Structure 1
Amino acid sequence: MTVTTPTDREIVLTRAFDAPAGLLFDALTRPDLLRRWFGAQGWQLVDCRLDLRVGGAWRFVSRGPGGAEMAHGGLYQLIEPSRRLVYTERYDDQSYPGDTLIAHRLVERAGLTTLTTTIRYATPEGRDRVLRYPMRRGVAEGYGRLDDLLAELTETRRPSDDTQPNARTERKSS
Protein backbone atom coordinates (compact mmCIF):
# COMPACT_ATOMS: atom_id res chain seq x y z
CA MET A 1 0.00 0.00 0.00
CA THR A 2 1.28 3.43 -0.84
CA VAL A 3 0.32 6.48 1.18
CA THR A 4 0.73 10.00 -0.21
CA THR A 5 -0.31 13.48 0.89
CA PRO A 6 -0.90 15.45 -2.34
CA THR A 7 -2.42 18.46 -0.53
CA ASP A 8 -2.49 19.76 3.03
CA ARG A 9 -5.99 18.27 3.49
CA GLU A 10 -5.67 14.90 1.70
CA ILE A 11 -4.31 11.43 2.22
CA VAL A 12 -4.31 9.05 -0.75
CA LEU A 13 -4.03 5.28 -0.23
CA THR A 14 -3.34 3.02 -3.23
CA ARG A 15 -3.39 -0.78 -3.10
CA ALA A 16 -3.83 -3.57 -5.65
CA PHE A 17 -6.01 -6.59 -4.90
CA ASP A 18 -6.01 -9.91 -6.76
CA ALA A 19 -9.76 -9.88 -7.35
CA PRO A 20 -12.27 -8.50 -9.84
CA ALA A 21 -13.60 -5.00 -9.19
CA GLY A 22 -17.14 -6.25 -8.60
CA LEU A 23 -16.01 -8.52 -5.79
CA LEU A 24 -13.92 -5.78 -4.19
CA PHE A 25 -16.87 -3.37 -4.43
CA ASP A 26 -19.05 -5.98 -2.69
CA ALA A 27 -16.47 -6.26 0.10
CA LEU A 28 -16.67 -2.48 0.58
CA THR A 29 -20.48 -2.33 0.62
CA ARG A 30 -21.96 -5.56 2.01
CA PRO A 31 -22.27 -5.79 5.81
CA ASP A 32 -21.75 -9.58 5.83
CA LEU A 33 -18.40 -9.11 4.06
CA LEU A 34 -17.35 -5.93 5.89
CA ARG A 35 -17.71 -7.73 9.23
CA ARG A 36 -15.14 -10.26 8.06
CA TRP A 37 -12.29 -7.85 7.25
CA PHE A 38 -12.84 -4.23 8.31
CA GLY A 39 -10.48 -2.80 10.92
CA ALA A 40 -7.07 -3.21 12.41
CA GLN A 41 -5.86 -6.40 14.07
CA GLY A 42 -7.65 -6.89 17.38
CA TRP A 43 -10.70 -4.89 16.27
CA GLN A 44 -14.02 -6.36 15.19
CA LEU A 45 -16.89 -4.66 13.41
CA VAL A 46 -19.81 -5.36 15.78
CA ASP A 47 -22.44 -3.10 14.20
CA CYS A 48 -22.58 -2.43 10.48
CA ARG A 49 -25.57 -0.67 8.97
CA LEU A 50 -25.73 0.56 5.37
CA ASP A 51 -28.40 2.24 3.29
CA LEU A 52 -26.49 1.95 0.02
CA ARG A 53 -28.08 4.72 -2.04
CA VAL A 54 -27.11 8.31 -2.72
CA GLY A 55 -28.15 10.20 0.41
CA GLY A 56 -28.35 6.96 2.40
CA ALA A 57 -26.61 6.69 5.75
CA TRP A 58 -24.03 4.20 6.98
CA ARG A 59 -22.80 3.51 10.53
CA PHE A 60 -20.08 1.23 11.88
CA VAL A 61 -19.23 0.39 15.48
CA SER A 62 -15.98 -1.50 16.13
CA ARG A 63 -14.84 -3.14 19.34
CA GLY A 64 -11.19 -3.54 20.17
CA PRO A 65 -8.79 -4.50 22.92
CA GLY A 66 -10.18 -4.15 26.43
CA GLY A 67 -13.68 -3.61 25.06
CA ALA A 68 -12.89 -0.16 23.63
CA GLU A 69 -15.46 0.98 21.08
CA MET A 70 -15.12 3.28 18.11
CA ALA A 71 -18.14 4.49 16.11
CA HIS A 72 -18.39 6.43 12.88
CA GLY A 73 -20.80 7.03 10.06
CA GLY A 74 -21.80 9.28 7.23
CA LEU A 75 -23.81 9.68 4.04
CA TYR A 76 -23.29 8.22 0.57
CA GLN A 77 -22.60 10.86 -2.08
CA LEU A 78 -21.91 8.76 -5.20
CA ILE A 79 -22.32 5.06 -5.97
CA GLU A 80 -21.08 3.54 -9.23
CA PRO A 81 -20.92 -0.23 -8.61
CA SER A 82 -17.51 -1.74 -9.35
CA ARG A 83 -16.07 1.73 -10.19
CA ARG A 84 -16.55 4.42 -7.53
CA LEU A 85 -17.91 4.95 -4.04
CA VAL A 86 -17.93 8.36 -2.35
CA TYR A 87 -19.23 9.13 1.14
CA THR A 88 -18.78 11.40 4.13
CA GLU A 89 -17.36 10.17 7.42
CA ARG A 90 -17.40 11.46 10.97
CA TYR A 91 -16.23 9.67 14.10
CA ASP A 92 -18.42 10.02 17.20
CA ASP A 93 -15.44 11.22 19.26
CA GLN A 94 -14.05 13.45 16.51
CA SER A 95 -12.66 16.65 17.97
CA TYR A 96 -11.82 18.45 14.72
CA PRO A 97 -14.49 20.29 12.70
CA GLY A 98 -16.33 19.05 9.65
CA ASP A 99 -16.88 15.82 7.81
CA THR A 100 -14.22 13.87 5.99
CA LEU A 101 -14.91 12.94 2.37
CA ILE A 102 -13.83 9.43 1.32
CA ALA A 103 -13.62 8.63 -2.40
CA HIS A 104 -12.79 5.08 -3.56
CA ARG A 105 -11.89 4.48 -7.20
CA LEU A 106 -11.58 0.89 -8.47
CA VAL A 107 -9.74 0.10 -11.70
CA GLU A 108 -9.59 -3.52 -12.88
CA ARG A 109 -7.04 -4.89 -15.32
CA ALA A 110 -6.85 -8.62 -16.02
CA GLY A 111 -8.54 -9.57 -12.74
CA LEU A 112 -6.29 -7.32 -10.63
CA THR A 113 -8.08 -4.32 -9.12
CA THR A 114 -6.32 -1.19 -7.91
CA LEU A 115 -8.18 0.61 -5.16
CA THR A 116 -7.30 4.29 -4.81
CA THR A 117 -8.82 5.96 -1.77
CA THR A 118 -8.67 9.72 -1.44
CA ILE A 119 -9.46 10.98 2.05
CA ARG A 120 -10.15 14.72 2.19
CA TYR A 121 -10.32 16.35 5.62
CA ALA A 122 -12.16 19.58 6.39
CA THR A 123 -8.95 21.16 7.70
CA PRO A 124 -5.18 20.60 7.44
CA GLU A 125 -5.16 20.05 11.22
CA GLY A 126 -7.63 17.16 10.83
CA ARG A 127 -5.41 15.46 8.25
CA ASP A 128 -2.28 16.02 10.35
CA ARG A 129 -3.93 14.56 13.44
CA VAL A 130 -4.79 11.36 11.53
CA LEU A 131 -1.24 11.10 10.19
CA ARG A 132 0.06 11.08 13.80
CA TYR A 133 -2.07 8.01 14.60
CA PRO A 134 -1.08 4.51 13.41
CA MET A 135 -3.53 4.88 10.49
CA ARG A 136 -1.20 3.28 7.95
CA ARG A 137 -0.69 0.18 10.11
CA GLY A 138 -4.40 -0.18 10.85
CA VAL A 139 -5.45 0.15 7.22
CA ALA A 140 -2.71 -2.27 6.11
CA GLU A 141 -3.89 -4.85 8.66
CA GLY A 142 -7.48 -4.50 7.48
CA TYR A 143 -6.38 -4.81 3.85
CA GLY A 144 -4.47 -7.98 4.74
CA ARG A 145 -7.70 -9.45 6.11
CA LEU A 146 -9.47 -8.22 2.97
CA ASP A 147 -6.88 -10.05 0.82
CA ASP A 148 -7.69 -13.28 2.66
CA LEU A 149 -11.44 -12.77 2.23
CA LEU A 150 -11.13 -11.96 -1.49
CA ALA A 151 -8.96 -15.05 -2.05
CA GLU A 152 -11.58 -17.20 -0.31
CA LEU A 153 -14.45 -15.66 -2.27
CA THR A 154 -12.59 -15.90 -5.58
CA GLU A 155 -11.84 -19.57 -4.95
CA THR A 156 -15.48 -20.38 -4.20
CA ARG A 157 -16.54 -18.66 -7.44
CA ARG A 158 -14.19 -20.67 -9.65
CA PRO A 159 -15.72 -23.80 -11.14
CA SER A 160 -13.89 -26.97 -10.24
CA ASP A 161 -12.47 -29.24 -12.93
CA ASP A 162 -15.30 -31.69 -12.28
CA THR A 163 -17.89 -29.16 -13.43
CA GLN A 164 -16.18 -28.30 -16.73
CA PRO A 165 -18.06 -29.55 -19.75
CA ASN A 166 -16.59 -32.61 -21.36
CA ALA A 167 -16.31 -32.27 -25.15
CA ARG A 168 -17.31 -35.90 -25.69
CA THR A 169 -20.51 -35.64 -23.65
CA GLU A 170 -21.51 -32.37 -25.26
CA ARG A 171 -21.07 -33.51 -28.84
CA LYS A 172 -24.30 -34.37 -30.59
CA SER A 173 -24.46 -37.87 -31.89
CA SER A 174 -25.26 -38.32 -35.57
Structure 2
Amino acid sequence: MSQFDKLAKLVGEVGARGEPNHPVTLTLPSEQEILISRVFDAPPERVFRAHVDPKALADWWGPREYVNTVDRWEPRKGGAWRIVQRAPDSTEHPFRGVFQEVVPSKRLTWTFEYERLPGHVLTETMTFEPEPGGRTKLTVHAVFPSQEDRNGMLASGMEWGMREGYERLDDLLDRGA
Protein backbone atom coordinates (compact mmCIF):
# COMPACT_ATOMS: atom_id res chain seq x y z
CA MET A 1 0.00 0.00 0.00
CA SER A 2 1.41 3.37 -1.00
CA GLN A 3 1.73 6.27 1.45
CA PHE A 4 -1.13 8.02 -0.36
CA ASP A 5 -3.37 4.97 0.07
CA LYS A 6 -2.53 4.85 3.79
CA LEU A 7 -3.33 8.55 4.19
CA ALA A 8 -6.56 8.25 2.23
CA LYS A 9 -7.62 5.25 4.31
CA LEU A 10 -6.89 7.14 7.49
CA VAL A 11 -9.16 10.00 6.53
CA GLY A 12 -11.86 7.63 5.29
CA GLU A 13 -11.73 8.42 1.59
CA VAL A 14 -10.65 4.98 0.43
CA GLY A 15 -11.46 1.64 2.03
CA ALA A 16 -9.00 -1.10 2.85
CA ARG A 17 -9.56 -2.64 -0.60
CA GLY A 18 -8.60 0.60 -2.36
CA GLU A 19 -12.18 1.21 -3.46
CA PRO A 20 -14.34 4.21 -2.61
CA ASN A 21 -16.26 3.38 0.54
CA HIS A 22 -19.23 4.82 2.33
CA PRO A 23 -18.12 7.60 4.64
CA VAL A 24 -18.85 7.50 8.33
CA THR A 25 -20.69 10.64 9.38
CA LEU A 26 -20.11 11.65 13.00
CA THR A 27 -21.92 14.57 14.60
CA LEU A 28 -22.28 15.88 18.15
CA PRO A 29 -25.95 16.84 18.61
CA SER A 30 -25.46 17.80 22.26
CA GLU A 31 -22.77 17.83 24.95
CA GLN A 32 -23.59 14.24 25.90
CA GLU A 33 -24.30 12.65 22.51
CA ILE A 34 -22.58 11.22 19.47
CA LEU A 35 -24.54 10.44 16.31
CA ILE A 36 -22.91 8.23 13.69
CA SER A 37 -24.29 7.07 10.35
CA ARG A 38 -22.96 4.81 7.62
CA VAL A 39 -24.46 3.07 4.57
CA PHE A 40 -23.78 -0.60 3.81
CA ASP A 41 -24.31 -2.45 0.52
CA ALA A 42 -26.56 -5.09 2.07
CA PRO A 43 -30.18 -5.18 3.26
CA PRO A 44 -31.08 -4.44 6.89
CA GLU A 45 -31.60 -8.13 7.71
CA ARG A 46 -27.99 -8.97 6.91
CA VAL A 47 -26.46 -5.90 8.58
CA PHE A 48 -28.57 -6.53 11.69
CA ARG A 49 -27.60 -10.22 11.74
CA ALA A 50 -23.91 -9.22 11.66
CA HIS A 51 -24.60 -7.18 14.82
CA VAL A 52 -26.35 -9.95 16.77
CA ASP A 53 -24.50 -13.08 15.61
CA PRO A 54 -21.52 -13.42 18.00
CA LYS A 55 -19.30 -15.17 15.44
CA ALA A 56 -19.95 -12.49 12.82
CA LEU A 57 -19.50 -9.69 15.34
CA ALA A 58 -16.14 -11.09 16.46
CA ASP A 59 -15.00 -10.98 12.82
CA TRP A 60 -15.63 -7.28 12.27
CA TRP A 61 -15.94 -5.30 15.51
CA GLY A 62 -13.16 -2.74 15.92
CA PRO A 63 -9.77 -2.12 14.30
CA ARG A 64 -8.32 -4.60 11.80
CA GLU A 65 -5.34 -5.62 13.93
CA TYR A 66 -7.47 -6.39 16.98
CA VAL A 67 -8.80 -9.87 17.80
CA ASN A 68 -12.19 -10.16 19.49
CA THR A 69 -13.36 -12.80 21.92
CA VAL A 70 -17.07 -12.83 22.65
CA ASP A 71 -17.35 -14.09 26.23
CA ARG A 72 -21.08 -13.59 26.61
CA TRP A 73 -23.72 -12.72 24.05
CA GLU A 74 -27.44 -12.81 24.83
CA PRO A 75 -29.17 -10.58 22.21
CA ARG A 76 -32.55 -10.28 23.93
CA LYS A 77 -34.05 -7.69 26.27
CA GLY A 78 -32.16 -7.95 29.56
CA GLY A 79 -29.46 -10.19 28.07
CA ALA A 80 -25.84 -9.50 28.92
CA TRP A 81 -22.92 -9.13 26.56
CA ARG A 82 -19.15 -9.05 27.01
CA ILE A 83 -16.42 -8.71 24.38
CA VAL A 84 -12.67 -8.61 24.92
CA GLN A 85 -10.53 -6.98 22.23
CA ARG A 86 -6.87 -7.96 22.11
CA ALA A 87 -4.55 -5.33 20.62
CA PRO A 88 -1.42 -6.26 18.62
CA ASP A 89 0.68 -5.65 21.77
CA SER A 90 -1.54 -8.20 23.65
CA THR A 91 -3.26 -5.50 25.71
CA GLU A 92 -6.82 -6.58 26.44
CA HIS A 93 -9.74 -4.17 26.25
CA PRO A 94 -12.88 -5.65 27.84
CA PHE A 95 -16.32 -4.19 27.13
CA ARG A 96 -19.69 -5.19 28.54
CA GLY A 97 -23.31 -4.19 28.68
CA VAL A 98 -26.94 -5.23 28.74
CA PHE A 99 -29.31 -5.43 25.78
CA GLN A 100 -32.26 -3.10 26.38
CA GLU A 101 -34.13 -3.54 23.11
CA VAL A 102 -33.81 -5.99 20.22
CA VAL A 103 -36.17 -5.43 17.28
CA PRO A 104 -34.99 -7.75 14.48
CA SER A 105 -33.66 -5.93 11.41
CA LYS A 106 -34.79 -2.56 12.80
CA ARG A 107 -33.27 -1.51 16.12
CA LEU A 108 -30.80 -2.61 18.77
CA THR A 109 -30.23 -0.78 22.08
CA TRP A 110 -27.63 -1.71 24.68
CA THR A 111 -25.61 -0.26 27.48
CA PHE A 112 -21.88 -0.04 26.84
CA GLU A 113 -19.11 0.07 29.44
CA TYR A 114 -15.34 -0.22 29.18
CA GLU A 115 -14.48 -2.47 32.12
CA ARG A 116 -11.18 -0.73 32.80
CA LEU A 117 -13.16 2.48 33.52
CA PRO A 118 -16.14 1.13 35.48
CA GLY A 119 -19.13 3.31 36.17
CA HIS A 120 -19.00 5.21 32.88
CA VAL A 121 -21.96 3.56 31.16
CA LEU A 122 -23.41 4.91 27.94
CA THR A 123 -26.48 3.83 26.01
CA GLU A 124 -26.28 3.11 22.28
CA THR A 125 -29.23 2.73 19.95
CA MET A 126 -28.56 1.36 16.48
CA THR A 127 -31.22 1.72 13.80
CA PHE A 128 -31.14 -0.20 10.53
CA GLU A 129 -33.01 1.65 7.77
CA PRO A 130 -33.59 0.25 4.28
CA GLU A 131 -32.10 2.32 1.47
CA PRO A 132 -32.67 2.04 -2.29
CA GLY A 133 -30.78 -0.72 -4.06
CA GLY A 134 -30.94 -3.20 -1.17
CA ARG A 135 -28.67 -1.09 1.03
CA THR A 136 -28.89 -0.15 4.71
CA LYS A 137 -28.33 3.09 6.54
CA LEU A 138 -27.04 2.32 10.03
CA THR A 139 -27.42 5.10 12.58
CA VAL A 140 -25.79 4.82 16.00
CA HIS A 141 -27.00 7.22 18.68
CA ALA A 142 -24.79 7.17 21.78
CA VAL A 143 -25.87 8.99 24.95
CA PHE A 144 -23.24 9.50 27.65
CA PRO A 145 -23.69 10.31 31.35
CA SER A 146 -21.56 13.45 30.96
CA GLN A 147 -19.76 15.62 28.43
CA GLU A 148 -16.45 14.42 29.91
CA ASP A 149 -17.39 10.81 29.18
CA ARG A 150 -18.37 11.69 25.62
CA ASN A 151 -15.15 13.60 25.05
CA GLY A 152 -13.13 10.76 26.56
CA MET A 153 -14.71 8.33 24.09
CA LEU A 154 -13.90 10.66 21.19
CA ALA A 155 -10.29 10.99 22.38
CA SER A 156 -9.93 7.21 22.75
CA GLY A 157 -9.70 6.55 19.01
CA MET A 158 -13.29 5.35 18.82
CA GLU A 159 -13.90 6.96 15.43
CA TRP A 160 -10.84 5.27 13.89
CA GLY A 161 -11.84 1.92 15.40
CA MET A 162 -15.39 2.29 14.15
CA ARG A 163 -14.28 3.21 10.61
CA GLU A 164 -11.98 0.18 10.43
CA GLY A 165 -14.64 -2.03 11.97
CA TYR A 166 -17.17 -0.92 9.37
CA GLU A 167 -14.66 -1.66 6.61
CA ARG A 168 -14.30 -5.14 8.12
CA LEU A 169 -18.10 -5.42 8.15
CA ASP A 170 -18.11 -4.49 4.44
CA ASP A 171 -15.68 -7.38 3.84
CA LEU A 172 -17.88 -9.78 5.81
CA LEU A 173 -21.02 -8.70 3.95
CA ASP A 174 -19.18 -9.03 0.62
CA ARG A 175 -18.48 -12.66 1.55
CA GLY A 176 -22.21 -13.25 1.95
CA ALA A 177 -22.56 -13.16 5.72
Range into which the TM-score falls when normalised by the shorter chain: 0.7 to 0.9
Secondary structure of the structure 2 residue equivalent to 1:55: coil
Q: In the alignment, which of 162, 166, 176 is matched to residue 143 of structure 1? A: 166
Shifted more, 44-53 versus 117-126: the winner is 44-53
Question: What is the percentage of aligned positions where both structures have the same residue?
Answer: 35
Q: Aligned partners of 1:52, 1:132: CA distance in 2, in Å? A: 29
Read off the aligned partner of 1:35 and give its amino acid letter. A
Question: Displacement, 1:48?
Answer: 4.0
Read off the aligned partner of 2:87 and give its amino acid letter. G
Secondary structure of the structure 2 residue equivalent to 1:153: coil
Q: In the alignment, which of 73, 77, 80 is matched to residue 57 of structure 1? A: 80
Q: Aligned partners of 1:4, 1:29: CA distance in 2, in Å? A: 25
2:123 equivalent in structure 1: 101
Q: In the alignment, is the contact (CA less than 8 A) between 1:31 and 1:48 conserved in 2? A: no
Deviations 1:34-53 (A, max 9, x none): 11111112101023421111
Matches within 5 A, 1:17-166: 17-94=40-117, 97-110=119-132, 111-153=134-176
Which structure: greater helix fraction? 1
Q: In the alignment, is the contact (CA less than 8 A) between 1:73 and 1:90 conserved in 2? A: yes
Q: In the alignment, is the contact (CA less than 8 A) between 1:17 and 1:112 conserved in 2? A: yes
Matched, 1:13 2:13: no
Read off the aligned partner of 2:130 and give its amino acid letter. E
Unaligned runs of 5+ in 2: 1-23
| Higher Cα radius of gyration | 1
Q: In the alignment, is the contact (CA less than 8 A) between 2:82 and 2:96 conserved in 1? A: yes
Deviations 1:30-85 (A, max 9, x none): 01101111111210102342111101101101111111100011111111000000
Question: Displacement, 1:98?
Answer: 3.7
Secondary structure of the structure 1 residue equivalent to 2:175: helix
Shifted more, 80-89 versus 42-51: the winner is 42-51
Unaligned runs of 5+ in 1: 155-174
TM-score, normalised with respect to structure 2: 0.83
> Could you say what the CA RMSD is over the residues aligned between the two structures, in angstroms?
1.2
Q: Aligned partners of 1:80, 1:47: CA distance in 2, in Å? A: 21
Q: In the alignment, is the contact (CA less than 8 A) between 1:35 and 1:48 conserved in 2? A: no
1:165 equivalent in structure 2: none
